[in-house]
């Protein structure tokens, strides 16, 4: 996924921040990425509920040096997972790579 999307880091974590799988650059602290993924997903979930915005598709954080995109993967009765990616600011088309990865994860884990 990192190669296809041009990402620096990809992490799959539980919504409580526990790392499930990852592919990272040597300078990335995977525990921090996983913890932030859980925190951001929880915060956005509260915002979405309070503002009646419907289901979250993904969460994008755009900064001067790069971007982070998070996608929640959930299934009724299962603990939610967060797929988090970090990429350089020049990566423009990340949705397809993130979406494909989320679909594969759902199939492997039998999330519906």
For the domain 2-109, what is the CATH code?
3.30.450.30
pLDDT per residue as tens digits for the range 45-67: 999 999 999 988 899 999 999 99
Domain ranges within the chain, ordered by starting residue? 2-109
pLDDT per residue as tens digits for the range 76-98: 777 889 999 999 999 988 999 99
**What is the distance between the alpha carbons of residues 14 and 75, in angstroms, rounded to a whole number?**
13
Strands lying side by side in the sheet with 9-14: 19-23, 9-14, 81-88, 66-73, 59-62
Predicted confidence band at 29 (pLDDT cuts at 50, 70, 90)? very high
**What is the distance between the alpha carbons of residues 112 and 103, in angstroms, rounded to a whole number?**
10
Give the pTM.
0.88
Pairing status of strand 9-14 against strand 81-88: antiparallel
């Amino acid at each position: 996924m990192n190669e296809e999307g041009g990402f620096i880091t990809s992490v799959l974590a539980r919504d409580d921040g526990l790392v499930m799988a990852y592919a990272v650059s040597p300078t990335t602290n995977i525990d921090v990425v996983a913890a932030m993924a859980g925190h951001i997903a929880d915060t956005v979930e509260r915002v979405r509920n309070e503002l009646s915005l419907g289901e979250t598709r993904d969460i994008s954080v755009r900064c001067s040096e790069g971007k982070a995109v998070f996608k929640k993967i959930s299934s009724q009765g299962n603990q939610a997972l967060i797929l988090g990616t970090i990429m350089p600011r020049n990566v423009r088309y990340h949705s397809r790579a993130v979406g494909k990865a989320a679909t594969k994860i759902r199939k492997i884990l039998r999330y519906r």
